[in-house]
Structure 1
Amino acid sequence: MHKHHGLVTKRGAVLAALLLGVVAGVQAGDYSNVQIFGDSLTDSGAYQALVGPNARFTTNPGTVWSENLGASYGKPVSAAYAAWQAGATAGFTPVANGNNFAVGGARVDLQPGNLSGFPGLRPFIPPVSAQVSDFLARGPVDSKALYALLGGSNDIFVQATLVNGGGSPEVAHAAVRTAANAMTAQVNRLQSASARHLIVIGVPDIGRTPAAGSLPPAGAALLSSLTATYDAALVAGLAGRNLLFFDGNKLFNAIFANPGAYGFSNTTTPVCPGSPPDALACVAAPNGHMFADAVHWTSSLHRVLSDWVHASLEGASRVGLLSLVPIGRSGAQWRSIDDRLQQFENFGYQGQGFFVTGDHASSRKDANGGLPSANGSGGSLVMGYEKAFSEQLFGGVTLGYGNAPFDLGNGQGSVKYDEWALSAFAAHRFGAFYASALATYSWLDFESKRKVVLGPFSSSERGNTRGGQFGVKGQIGYNFVSGNLVHGPLAALAWERVRVDGFSEQSNSVTAMTFSDQTRESLRSRLGWQVAAETDWSGARLRPYAQLSYDYEHNDHQHSYRAGFVGGPAAMDMPITNQSGGYGTLLAGVNAELGKTLRLGLGASTTISQPGARSSAINVTLGAPF
């Protein structure tokens, strides 16, 4: 997992992390663990000791969304509580290494819980607030872990039951608002304890479950209105927070509108209509059903939800590549300029002329740490004018175009990337010493296509944005001359800053995301030794050269951008960081003067000992001096 950025020039690292070593650096897969809180929709085995190994509120032996999400990141998910019952006594025993605190029947902040089976356990079911308390009591919070909360359904069921028994609807709506505020309070507690990566899932419309379908219209309408009240209060409480809010109701609306696309042929009746409404006794295949029992989801529906969460987290993190790729791409523009500077610094180029350079660079990343191997490439065309103002002073300007489409990795999608770059350069000789400098501004254009797969459903989210890049580089060196051989040490320093404008994906679907502006800076140094020679062959003047250098990225400062859903109330900070460190770069080539008005240059370069990756480039230059 490398995103080193060497001093990317013809005499240096090529495309150092065009994209491939850097996917891992921005991938959400860096989560150290997952910690989950909620109710039966998330419970992955709290009742195992009483029911058996298939103790999930779904179509057993299927898995629930929390387990699927953990598996997507290679993190096991296990229950943090074990229910027990001995005669008239019962309770829940904490499980030291469990990371799923969700318990079937849990409310947000109140007891007793809402569980159709095991009435002796209801008074002891830990609400979400107690789950968070038990987690925080374990010790310091891991800021690199992912935290997830889904709850509120049981508070809605309890209040609906009270209204059906003659209670006040106004009191019921106030109670679910209080529950939503309590869920927001749990978010506050986790974030105050240093939780940085946090997701909250809203409650889907309970009025569309089979349980509601068996009620009179007024009963179903009550469940729908209570769900809407809860979600509205939750959205209001989470507005502007540093998290991702998943609108569960919006996902359900998309599924109900086109169930076949998500693999469902039955959205109204459960797989196990005769089982208790806690699905723990439902041992069956989903068979195209959305619901396992009257209220709980089949494992197929859990898969759709977990895929949505995973695809969104991955999409949010991989957008960080948009600010990283241009730093690697700058070398394609600078290689052309360095070729011309080299001719002046080593051999005292005189006159003026035009030149054009074609450059092709490629990068490869080996499979590592669960990430697949990947490859990428890009091309550029640079046109320039150069002039030697005296034997000591040389300069010029270039205009370049680059195209380097890149992959988001792991089948997550791709980005079309184009750039226009305007550069100015100059060099001065002081006897055997020389100094050179260049500056470049680039206009960047991106078109993203993010692949989204939710169970059998597949679609693409598209977006486009622009950006800008400014970079400067300075180099000094000393030449030893021995006959027709020139060689000597060199040292260089380069700084770049990339800005990418925020953008929103163009659809209004449940998976469409929005991203804020992002910036990235790079500070790279180089120490090396170069050698060049001059000779005549068949009427042409040949100047072969080679260089070996060590390049180092110094800037490991962390920046961030925000990612959320289009129209959503909140967005999560996504960190982007350069990986400091270094590696070697080897380049070689030859320049040939084929006549007074024609010059040809060929060059190639590659990185050395770049762990798990390699970058290489070739370029061809045609010059027309006059």
Structure 2
Amino acid sequence: MRQLDSASAYSNPGRRNNTPRLAAGDEATGRVWLQALGHGGTLDRSHGSSALQHATKGLVLGADWALDEQWRIGVIGGQSQTRLDGSQLDGDLDSWHLGAYALRQSGQLALRLGATYGNHDGSTKRRVAFNGFSDRPKGSYDASTQQAFTEVGYNLGSGNLSAEPFANLGYQRYQRDSYTEKGGAAALQVHGQTQDNFSSTFGLRLAQLNTLENGMQLTPRFSAGWKHTYGNVDSKAQQRLVTGGKNYTVEGAALDRDSLTLDAGLELAVSARHTLGVGYNGELGDNSRSHGVMGQWRMAF
């Protein structure tokens, strides 16, 4: 379940930096922004478990301020809901998220930092049927995710074209409490689970600022990166029947050791203070594929 809980978060700084990328020379002292997010994906069948679909929707609100000509800092908060669907398992996750981020822009060189905390209230329903036996155990659990990232980028572009190679180092921690299912003879007592991973992402961002005839500014952007996850990528949980018996280990879909990250979008500055944007982000690996869309409004003050 770790991979699904991580995917449910509105923003995974270690996997994809969804906080707005800030430009040097922004005259506004402060900004507020609102994002509406939609996210979906698939975990492949693994170790006897069926494939699982997941879909997330959520809202994120943030604000940031300029400390001086080089530094900006910001805070974010959000809420999301995730639906899980599989042939043997259904589930829901209600999550809230808090975080902070910072940017130092020194000429062409940018340093980005961020951290988030997510709390997840999960529920599951399993289907068990064989040889005339059937059961529908239900469970509920609490989980949390902590994530942090640091990123360095250098803009090689000129004029209205930005071409920024970047290197990102992230840390992700997932922790789920133990819980006991309610049901018949197939109900399980599931032990707690904790997993820590570091990741690195190397890639390139491109953006082109265009001024329209009506004075509005339109900026298309695209980025692609290679992400590598370090440490143990296997997903394992210990459990036993509530009615008794020995503990045994269940293996789920492993995290992807290597994956391709994609991000694309358009931003339209409708005035000096207001900007609208839409975007797509994706992560493609051997064991899972996820895709997301985003709509954003930003106001400078």
Q: Provide the TM-score with structure 2 as the length reference.
A: 0.88
Deviations 1:232-267 (A, max 9, x none): xxxxxxxxxxxxxxxxxxxxxxxxxxxxxxxxxxxx
What is the Cα deviation at residue 489 of structure 1?
0.8
What is the Cα deviation at residue 578 of structure 1?
4.3
Contact 1:327 1:522 survives alignment (8 Å) = no
The corresponding residue for 1:572 is: 248
Contact 2:233 2:256 survives alignment (8 Å) = no
The corresponding residue for 1:392 is: 70
Tell me how far apart the structure 2 counterparts of residues 453 and 572 of structure 1 sit (CA, whole Å): 20
User: Match for 2:5: what amino acid?
Assistant: P
The corresponding residue for 1:530 is: 205
What is the Cα deviation at residue 327 of structure 1?
2.3
Deviations 1:400-423 (A, max 9, x none): 11111113x3x2121111111100
The corresponding residue for 2:84 is: 406
The corresponding residue for 2:194 is: 519
The corresponding residue for 2:148 is: 472
Contact 1:590 1:601 survives alignment (8 Å) = yes
Q: Going by fraction, where is helix more abundant, 1 or 2?
A: 1
Contact 1:416 1:448 survives alignment (8 Å) = yes
Gaps of 5+ in 1: 1-320
What is the Cα deviation at residue 431 of structure 1?
2.0
Contact 2:238 2:247 survives alignment (8 Å) = yes
The corresponding residue for 1:493 is: 169
What is the Cα deviation at residue 330 of structure 1?
3.6
Q: Over aligned residue pairs, what C-alpha RMSD do you find?
A: 2.7
Contact 1:433 1:479 survives alignment (8 Å) = yes
Tell me how far apart the structure 2 counterparts of residues 486 and 597 of structure 1 sit (CA, whole Å): 22
The corresponding residue for 1:615 is: 290
Tell me how far apart the structure 2 counterparts of residues 577 and 333 of structure 1 sit (CA, whole Å): 19
The corresponding residue for 1:363 is: 41
Tell me how far apart the structure 2 counterparts of residues 559 and 468 of structure 1 sit (CA, whole Å): 16
Tell me how far apart the structure 1 counterparts of residues 27 and 261 of structure 2 sit (CA, whole Å): 26
Q: How does 1:584-599 map to 2 (within 5 A)?
A: 584-599=260-275
The corresponding residue for 1:438 is: 114
The corresponding residue for 1:343 is: 22
Deviations 1:513-548 (A, max 9, x none): 111111122211100011112122223122221111
CA 1:514/1:372 → structure 2, altered by over 3 Å: closer, same or farther?
closer
Contact 1:403 1:417 survives alignment (8 Å) = yes
CA 1:564/1:442 → structure 2, altered by over 3 Å: closer, same or farther?
same
Tell me how far apart the structure 1 counterparts of residues 69 and 225 of structure 2 sit (CA, whole Å): 28
Tell me how far apart the structure 2 counterparts of residues 400 and 618 of structure 1 sit (CA, whole Å): 16
What is the Cα deviation at residue 563 of structure 1?
0.5
2:4 aligned with 1:325, yes or no?
Answer: yes
Deviations 1:27-77 (A, max 9, x none): xxxxxxxxxxxxxxxxxxxxxxxxxxxxxxxxxxxxxxxxxxxxxxxxxxx
The corresponding residue for 2:96 is: 420
User: Match for 2:37: what amino acid?
Assistant: D
CA 1:369/1:478 → structure 2, altered by over 3 Å: closer, same or farther?
same
Deviations 1:382-414 (A, max 9, x none): 11111122221011111111111113x3x2121
What is the Cα deviation at residue 624 of structure 1?
2.4
Tell me how far apart the structure 2 counterparts of residues 422 and 562 of structure 1 sit (CA, whole Å): 30
Q: How does 1:180-579 map to 2 (within 5 A)?
A: 321=1, 323-330=2-9, 332=11, 334=13, 338=17, 340-344=19-23, 348=26, 350-364=28-42, 375-407=53-85, 409=86, 411-507=87-183, 509-537=184-212, 538-556=214-232, 560-574=236-250, 578-579=254-255
Deviations 1:309-343 (A, max 9, x none): xxxxxxxxxxxx2x2212233464649x9455413
What is the Cα deviation at residue 493 of structure 1?
0.9
Secondary structure class of the residue paired with 2:167: strand
User: Match for 1:350: what amino acid?
Assistant: A
CA 1:399/1:615 → structure 2, altered by over 3 Å: closer, same or farther?
same
Tell me how far apart the structure 2 counterparts of residues 548 and 375 of structure 1 sit (CA, whole Å): 24
The percentage of aligned residue pairs carrying the same residue is 21
Secondary structure class of the residue paired with 1:417: strand
Deviations 1:277-319 (A, max 9, x none): xxxxxxxxxxxxxxxxxxxxxxxxxxxxxxxxxxxxxxxxxxx
Tell me how far apart the structure 2 counterparts of residues 369 and 497 of structure 1 sit (CA, whole Å): 23
Secondary structure class of the residue paired with 2:127: strand
Gaps of 5+ in 2: none
Tell me how far apart the structure 2 counterparts of residues 512 and 367 of structure 1 sit (CA, whole Å): 22
Deviations 1:216-245 (A, max 9, x none): xxxxxxxxxxxxxxxxxxxxxxxxxxxxxx
Contact 2:28 2:300 survives alignment (8 Å) = no
The corresponding residue for 2:299 is: 624
CA 1:405/1:557 → structure 2, altered by over 3 Å: closer, same or farther?
closer
CA 1:370/1:440 → structure 2, altered by over 3 Å: closer, same or farther?
closer
CA 1:382/1:593 → structure 2, altered by over 3 Å: closer, same or farther?
same
Secondary structure class of the residue paired with 2:124: strand
Secondary structure class of the residue paired with 1:324: helix
User: Match for 1:328: what amino acid?
Assistant: A
Tell me how far apart the structure 2 counterparts of residues 463 and 419 of structure 1 sit (CA, whole Å): 17
Contact 2:185 2:243 survives alignment (8 Å) = no
CA 1:324/1:374 → structure 2, altered by over 3 Å: closer, same or farther?
closer
Q: Going by fraction, where is strand more abundant, 1 or 2?
A: 2
CA 1:472/1:334 → structure 2, altered by over 3 Å: closer, same or farther?
closer
Contact 1:593 1:599 survives alignment (8 Å) = yes
Tell me how far apart the structure 1 counterparts of residues 221 and 295 of structure 2 sit (CA, whole Å): 15
Contact 1:441 1:471 survives alignment (8 Å) = yes
Deviations 1:546-581 (A, max 9, x none): 111111111226675420122425322445684452
Tell me how far apart the structure 1 counterparts of residues 205 and 91 of structure 2 sit (CA, whole Å): 37
Aligned residues: 299
The corresponding residue for 1:164 is: none
Secondary structure class of the residue paired with 1:343: coil
What is the Cα deviation at residue 369 of structure 1?
9.4
CA 1:451/1:339 → structure 2, altered by over 3 Å: closer, same or farther?
closer
Tell me how far apart the structure 2 counterparts of residues 539 and 365 of structure 1 sit (CA, whole Å): 45
Secondary structure class of the residue paired with 1:480: coil
